[in-house]
Chain A
Amino acid sequence: MLSTVNTRAPLRWLGKQLFNRDDPGAFFDPLLAALNPMWVRGFVPARLVEVTDEARDTRSFHLRPSPRWRGFNAGQHINVIVEADGVRHHRTFTIASTPRQWASDGTVTLTIKRLAGGRITNWMHDNLCGGEVMGVSQAFGDFNLPETDRPLLYIAGGSGITPVLSHLATLADRDVRAPVTLLYYVRSQADIIGAGVLYALAARWPALTLKIFKTEEEGEPALMNEAHLDSVTGLDARQIYLCGPKGLMTLAADVLNRAGVAESQIQTTFFSAPFAVAADTPLGGAVTFGKTDKTVESEGDAPLLEIAEAAELKPAYGCRMGICHQCSCRKNSGTVVNRLTGKASGPGEETIQLCISVPQGPVTVDL
């Protein structure tokens, strides 16, 4: 019954009158959560059914979202909402499993690697073992499979493999005949994510050519180079997907360019899971105002409130000294340093006070 509260206009209106909020369904969440956390209305809950080891520092988290979740296409991401030490964190992860798996048993798999210095990936590895309930957003992202079958080339690095796993398994299920090649770059054997899935796919699906390069093992060719493309037949006709850390993406784009591949053939997903900036990153950075789609550069310890005003925006403010919270606003991504405490924030979406928050690296705020 509660699900209709948010969708039917008259009920919604009534809910607003009675509970003073735009999402009246969530008014009872504190009670519902105590009875069964899968009943909450404030976000789409998902139960963590199992956690499995995948590779060095990498685990798969198998989630079963509530029926309100609308599904996804291979290659899409979701935001996961977890609560660590009383604080709600949002992090974006790519779904590594297939839409077919979700259709058959209602689960999706997130394959997550510990990030050095990453508060939430490490927290998830250390604290979640199955049975917990977290929140998920609807799926988003446009790293989509081609509409029609055609030869494909994937170049993936490290944990950038996750959307590729979902793509490949989906293509294999459809028994696509056009050739598909994956060039996968990892540090060493122990770092191969989804090894089981990949080898099984290669064994049962003749269209797939699988090449794994270990960049830090002896006797192996090092970084990506032209020679790696030699085995890829009909390069010109292939649609190419790049997914991995920034270094590899730039390098691959370069190599492809020299091999005469047209820009339009390439699709990239910036797999840069947000990670905390290093403590010695200088203050200042590019500030993007999400609502107005403006970006300005800032330097030194100018707080976001002043940066926004200099960009001719008019955010609400009061005391301008960190007391009144009038200037509180959503930060979508990036790290800010609190001027009063000197503490750096996390990289994800959260509420900050504009008047005492100084960007440290690129930041996006909801203004």
Chain B
Amino acid sequence: MKQLNEQQLNELAEDLDAIHDEVMADVGERDAKYIRRMIRLHRTLEVGGRAMMPFGFIPPVFAAAVGSLSIAKIIENMEIGHNVMHGQYDWMNDPSLHSQTYEWDTVCTGDSWRRTHNYEHHTFTNVIGKDRDYGYALLRLSDDNKWNPLHLFQFANYALLSVFFQWGVGLHELEFERVRRREIKLSEKAGLLKDFFRKGGRQAFKDYLFFPLLTFPVFPIVLAGNVSANLIRNLWSSSVIFCGHFTEDAETFTEASIENETRGHWYLRQLTGSSNFTGSKWVHILSGHLSHQIEHHVFPDIPAHRYREIAPRVEAICHKYGIKYNTGSFGRQYWTVLKRIGQFSLPDRVRTRLSAPAAA
């Protein structure tokens, strides 16, 4: 990682804190209007999608219904749910937008997410062994993990994870790899499993049972439509999330390196461990502004639509301290993620030999 001395780290913290305080002092009406507009859009798309779905025997209607429902789910998960649970709108004092009680339209329970994501992942970002979001304990993405032959198949794992992403995230806190290594007992996770089945059951009941049965004669169409909407949401959100930390140059850290970490160092780690992608306004909105993963990681509780505005300033600060501001088009960033998954599926000897000419 880019090394800065004590004084530089303090200055970095000051510079970033200044942006944070300035934005938070300005947060108000505009942000409330923004998130309310998003929520209205979500409700409209969801109601519209569900209402159109039974008429899906007309192909263009089916496409519209699936599009509408999947975009509704994407907006709810990414721009509303994820950001609300980060406390970005706690200041609004609206109980239905409260970070600690919000429950989103996906299998993972809000509580489990708040623990694994808001706390573990955002505090220990990219620290191998502590941030289990790093590769989701399924993928080998750096040489901090030892290679074994099973890693040869990690591309298939990756594809499965993307398809069933909401279920994977829902079970993330189970720490199955540690259960398998007998480091923890399954019984310790009983509460989590109960919540998982309750919430997962609820999600499945709604999309795969209730709404199809409600429209009985056309239930195969409604079922197929709901499955498609969930699938589209899964593929999109997993791709966005993978682009946030698994791109080519996103750095990883060791547990030792974060002992007695200062605020400046924490900031530095967030800046170097995250990566952005560029795109139109709607790409940002549909990604829940995780396209601004860097800004999100330094300021997780600033209302996300502001990231777009402050990005140039964050980038300028990165330049000032010679920190790489990792960004590129969605396509390019995603390509580097795929490359990384592929490269680290190979034994280190093969991998270094293959990538050597490219580096030269």
Residues of A that sit less than 8 Å from B by CB: 14, 16-18, 20-21, 23, 26-31, 34, 42, 83, 85-90, 316, 318-319, 321-326, 328-329, 340-341, 343, 349-351, 353
Known: A17-B202, A17-B210, A18-B206. A324 touches B118 (CB 8 A): yes
The smallest beta-carbon distance between A30 and chain B, in angstroms, is 5
With beta carbons under 8 angstroms apart, the residue of A16, A86, A323 that contacts B92 is A86
Q: B353 contacts the other chain (Cβ, under 8 Å)?
A: no
Interface residues of B in 20-44 (CB under 8 A from A): 21, 24-25, 27-33, 36, 39-40, 43-44
Q: Chain B: which residue is nearest A343 at the CB level?
A: B25
- A318 with B118: in contact, given A26-B96, A86-B33, A328-B87 (CB under 8 Å)? yes
A21 touches B96 (CB 8 A): yes
B260 to chain A, nearest CB (A): 13
Is A87 touching B32 in the complex (CB atoms < 8 A)?
A: yes
Q: Which of B97-105, B284-292, B309-317, B324-332 contacts A (4 or more CB under 8 A)?
A: B97-105
**Contact present for B36 and A30 (CB under 8 Å):** yes
- Interface residue B91 (Cβ < 8 Å from any Cβ of A): yes
Partner of B93, one of A318, A324, A350: A350
Residue of A nearest to B270 (CB): A323
Give the tally of cross-chain contacts (CB within 8 A): 110
Checking B24, B33, B39, B87 against A353 with a beta-carbon cut-off of 8 angstroms, the contacting residue is: B87
Per-residue A-contact encoding for B1-37, CB less than 8 Å = 1, 0 else = 0000000000000000100010011011111110010
Interchain CB contact under 8 A, B122 and A88: no
* Residues 61-100 of chain B, each 1 if its beta carbon lies under 8 Å from chain A, else 0: 0000000000000000000000001110011111110111
Contact check, B300 vs A324: say whether CB atoms are below 8 A apart: yes
Q: CB-CB < 8 A to B32: which residues of A? A: 83, 85-87
A280–B33 Cα distance when bound, in Å, is 34
User: Complex Cα distance A316/B43, Å?
Assistant: 31
Q: Tell me, in angstroms, the Cα distance from A325 to B236 when the chains sit together.
A: 26
Q: Is the CB of B93 within 8 A of A88?
A: yes
> Once bound together, how far apart are the Cα atoms of A340 and B118, in whole Å?
19
Which residues on the A side are within 8 Å of B28 (C-beta)?
A: 85-87
Q: Is the CB of B93 within 8 A of A85?
A: no
List 4 extra interface pairs beyond A87-B91, A318-B119, CB under 8 A: A27-B43, A30-B39, A318-B118, A341-B24
Residue B114 lies at the interface, judged by CB distance under 8 Å to chain A: yes
User: Is the CB–CB distance between B92 and A88 below 8 Å?
Assistant: yes
CB distance from B207 to the nearest CB of A (A): 10
Give CA–CA (A89, B94) in the complex, Å. Answer: 9
Q: Which residue of B lies closest to A325 (CB)?
A: B87
Interface string of B316-346 (1 = CB under 8 A from A): 0000000000000000000000000000000
Residues of chain B within 8 A (CB-CB) of A343 are: 25
Identify the closest chain A residue to B104 (Cβ): A20
Cα–Cα distance between A336 and B211 once the two chains are bound (Å): 47
CB distance from A352 to the nearest CB of B (A): 8
Q: Top 9 A-B pairs ranked by shortest CB distance?
A: A325-B87, A86-B32, A318-B119, A88-B93, A20-B103, A86-B29, A85-B28, A324-B118, A325-B99
Q: Complex: how many Å from CA A85 to CA B100?
A: 23
The residues of B with any CB-CB pair to A shorter than 8 Å are 17, 21, 24-25, 27-33, 36, 39-40, 43-44, 47, 85-87, 90-96, 98-100, 103-105, 114-115, 118-119, 122-123, 202, 205-206, 210, 263, 300-301
Task: Check B90 against A34 for contact (C-beta < 8 Å).
Answer: no
B31, A86: Cβ atoms closer than 8 Å:
yes
* Interface-central residue, B90, B93, B104, by most chain A CB under 10 Å: B93
Contacts of B33 in A (CB 8 A): 86
- A residues near B98, Cβ cutoff 8 Å: 328, 351
Can you list 28 contacts pairing A with B, beta carbon distance less than 8 Å?
A17-B202, A17-B206, A18-B206, A20-B103, A21-B103, A26-B96, A28-B43, A31-B44, A31-B47, A83-B32, A85-B32, A86-B28, A88-B94, A318-B123, A319-B123, A324-B118, A324-B119, A324-B300, A325-B99, A325-B100, A325-B114, A325-B118, A326-B119, A329-B100, A341-B25, A349-B93, A351-B93, A353-B90
- Nearest chain A CB to B238's CB is how many angstroms away? 21
CB <8 Å contact, A323 and B300: yes
**Closest CB-CB distance, B229 to chain A, in whole Å?**
15
Contact present for B30 and A86 (CB under 8 Å): yes
Please determine whether B43 and A17 come into contact, CB atoms closer than 8 angstroms. no
Residues of A within 8 A of B114 (CB): 318, 324-326
Specify the chain B residue showing the minimal Cβ separation from A28. Answer: B43
Give the nearest-CB partner of B32 in chain A.
Answer: A86
In the docked arrangement, what's the CA distance between A42 and B93, Å?
A: 13
Contacts of B43 in A (CB 8 A): 27-28, 30-31
Q: Is the CB of A18 within 8 A of B99?
A: no
Complex Cα spacing A212 to B90, Å? 46
- When distances are taken between beta carbons in the complex, the residues of chain B under 8 Å from A21 are 96, 103
Q: How far is B98's CA from A26's CA once the two chains are assembled, in angstroms?
A: 14
By beta carbon, the residue of chain A nearest B21 is: A341
**Which chain B residue has the least Cβ–Cβ distance from A83?**
B32
Alpha-carbon gap, A134 to B169, bound state (A): 39
Residues of A within 8 A of B92 (CB): 86-88
A residues less than 8 Å from B202 (CB atoms): 16-17, 20
CA distance A351 to B100 in the complex (A): 10
Q: Which residues of A have CB within 8 Å of B40?
A: 30-31, 34
Q: Shortest distance in angstroms between B72's beta carbon and chain A's nearest beta carbon? A: 13
| Shortest Cβ distance from residue A291 to the other chain B in the assembled complex, whole angstroms | 15
What separation, in Å, do the CA atoms of A340 and B44 have in the docked complex? 38
Residue of A nearest to B30 (CB): A86
User: Bound complex: CA of A273 vs CA of B106, how far in Å?
Assistant: 43
For B87, list chain A residues within 8 Å (CB): 324-325, 328, 353
B205 and A17 form a contact (CB under 8 A) = yes
Q: Min CB distance, B307 to chain A, in Å? A: 16
A240 to chain B, nearest CB (A): 38
Closest B residue, CB atoms, query A85: B28
Distance between Cα atoms of A23 and B103 in the complex (Å): 12
Nearest-Cβ distance from residue B267 to partner chain A, whole angstroms: 11
